[in-house]
Amino acid sequence: MIVRILNEGQWTLDDEAFAALNAHDDQIEEAVDSGDEARLTRALTALLDEVRSRGTAVPDDSLADSDLILPDAEATLEEVREWLADNSAGEGLVPG
């Protein structure tokens, strides 16, 4: 699966990585529900770090569609709230 981090790039991840990503995703949802911007930033940074550490960077000159797009670490509480609202499946930022 190819994951894009906005304003940064893409990484290829195997399916096994998604259990760890979902744990961070749960923390992001909890931070949004509580309205805690600092907690959101920590959880979002941890999620993105997990993508970078578990994934393999896709070369910039490669054209590949992203299977999943994540906001960058500077995303605000309101921006992430909108991302979550746009996900009609209710699965957070990361499916599964």
Residue 9 lies in domain: 2-86
- Asked whether residue 14 is domain-assigned, the answer is yes
Judge whether 81 lies within some domain: yes
Within a domain: 70: yes
pLDDT at 40 over 90: yes
Residue 29, domain member (yes or no): yes
Contact 40, 2 (CB under 8 A): no
**CA 41 – CA 16 distance, rounded (Å):** 24
Closest CA to 54 of 11, 94, 9: 11
- Res. 12: pLDDT tops 60: yes
Among 1, 14, 3, 5, smallest CA distance to 71 is for 5
Q: Total domain count for the chain? A: 1
| Global confidence as pTM | 0.89
Section 54-82 average pLDDT: 92
Which residues, in sequence order, are CB contacts of 60 under 8 Å at separation 6+?
A: 9
